[in-house]
Structure 1
């Protein structure tokens, strides 16, 4: 299967938009460089990009971050590359869709944060419970979300994909190489 001609290509920049279950825009990351974009996966990197919150507030990320999305997983993974070490912020969310405007997904509130020392925390359980009642999440969606937390935990334990040192090194070095090439033009 070939990619559509209008899909973002390696080295181009796209926005990432997260939505809530009710359809409202939650958060936008303005500039993420495309590192890989095929029919199943998207890998990108942003570095000091502007983030716009739903209420219009904006802030800038503090470090380079690899982003990993897969069309078959109800989670995405942000790998933050800090001087103190690599940390992760994982969103439990729908598989992504990508068009010329942005990469888009629905955020289901639950997050897993992993610190450089390996400690991890499940975050925003109260938010998930509140919104699941407020927006009447279907039971199928709740089951998928809870199953995705378990699947994500397996990935973490197995150091699969973005949780492996090799993944981080390969894709961060790829980002640096493309950024250098783009800046020399």
Structure 2
């Protein structure tokens, strides 16, 4: 798999299981990139939804993508602490166009005190039926929700105490 270069500005493309584009983030800076891991950052970037509507993010964000897990993590730096938004998704791929993944609806929101909430279970059930998620995918996704919860509770990887601050400092060197 091709990988972006550190310092590159890329887009992030989120798709749905049926292949339709879900969301596009523009102007995202690559902070680290290997075959297995990509860490990127952005701040006040345009996000375009599948229906053409767009909006601008409100705060700096550090995004963690790994090729061996079925989720990605966005750490948003707000005045009262770091909030995390975790997308249950396929592992990422990267091509000349963008970093890409399939969004599988389930999300976990993590608050600065590390309490969390599983979101969009109804959306997952609906899309699972409409798009025919295979049983194998369903099992992988449920296993990865449990792995993600374990990471949150153990403050592992992107949830470790200094992770977001360290990568945000690196991001500031590119601005």
TM-score normalized by the length of structure 1: 0.92
- Tell me if 1:174 matches 2:174: no
**Conservation of the 8 A alpha-carbon contact between 2:59 and 2:76:** yes
1:13 match: 9
- Give the root-mean-square deviation of aligned CA atoms: 1.1
1:170 is displaced (CA, Å) by 1.4
1:143 is displaced (CA, Å) by 0.3
Q: Distance in 2 between matches of 1:173 and 1:20?
A: 33
Higher Cα Rg: structure 1 or 2? 1
**Deviation readout 1:30-57 (Å, 9 max, x if unpaired):** 1110000111100000100000000000
Q: Which 4+ residue blocks in structure 1 deviate beyond 6 angstroms?
A: none
For residue 43 of structure 1, the aligned residue among 39, 55, 70 is: 39
1:137 match: 133
For residue 64 of structure 1, the aligned residue among 60, 67, 87 is: 60
| Further displaced range: 136-145 or 117-126 | 117-126
Q: Distance in 1 between matches of 2:134 and 2:109?
A: 26
- Number of residue-to-residue matches in the alignment: 175
Q: Distance in 1 between matches of 2:40 and 2:56?
A: 17
1:93 match: 89
- Tell me if 1:161 matches 2:150: no
**Conservation of the 8 A alpha-carbon contact between 2:114 and 2:153:** no
1:78 match: 74
**Conservation of the 8 A alpha-carbon contact between 2:114 and 2:152:** no
Q: Distance in 1 between matches of 2:159 and 2:141?
A: 20
| Further displaced range: 111-120 or 55-64 | 111-120
| Further displaced range: 111-120 or 95-104 | 111-120
TM-score normalized by the length of structure 2: 0.97
For residue 21 of structure 2, the aligned residue among 17, 25, 35 is: 25
Q: Distance in 2 between matches of 1:19 and 1:160?
A: 27
Q: Distance in 2 between matches of 1:117 and 1:163?
A: 11
Q: Distance in 2 between matches of 1:77 and 1:118?
A: 14
| Further displaced range: 170-179 or 101-110 | 170-179
Q: Distance in 2 between matches of 1:9 and 1:96?
A: 16
For residue 52 of structure 1, the aligned residue among 48, 51, 61 is: 48
Gaps of 5+ in 2: none
